[in-house]
Amino acid sequence: MSIRKRYKNEDTELDTGPLNDILFILMFFFLIISTLANPNVIKMNNPRATSETKAKQSVIVSINKNRDIYLGQQKIIFDSLESSLKKQLRVGDSIKPAVVINADSLVSWGDIVRVMQVAKKLGATTSASVSSAK
């Protein structure tokens, strides 16, 4: 029986090839997950304004599933919408006022368009969003 001496190698190396593969897979996984987390987000740099700029005035009109119309927090009927909006909007300013329409998903588009027509008649810009009740 021959017993050989084992030589200690002082210059031992660690193979990092498998570690590189695992790190690449983890990086790829987090990259895919981060893009799926917020698919509708667009990153952009918004311009900064000085304090002399006037703030854009916006009035919120909400329509619920029962076709009730709210101007801010106050419930109104459609026939008085034009006069109520006229009181809320300052049409004489240099900046056009805006009317934001929040509607339930069960509201017909005809009701939303009627509110938009009243706002356009008063000289305001409009934008609408439809949300579903949960």
Say which CATH number the domain at 124 has.
Answer: 3.30.420.270
User: Is 124 within the bounds of a domain?
Assistant: yes
pLDDT tens digits along 53-83:
555 667 888 888 888 888 888 898 888 888 8
Answer whether residue 97 is part of any domain.
yes
| pLDDT greater than 80 at residue 44 | no
Provide the greatest CA pair distance for the chain.
110
User: 69 lies in which domain range?
Assistant: 58-131
| Within a domain: 36 | no
Q: How many domains does the chain have?
A: 1
Residue 27 confidence class, pLDDT cut points 50, 70, 90:
very high
Q: What is the mean pLDDT of the chain?
A: 78
For the residues 84-95, what does the mean pLDDT come to?
72
Per the confidence metrics, is the pTM higher than 0.75?
no
Closest CA to 112 of 71, 69, 79, 72: 69
Residue at 11 is within a domain: no
Whether 116 is covered by a domain: the verdict is yes
**H or E element, residue 118:** helix 109-121
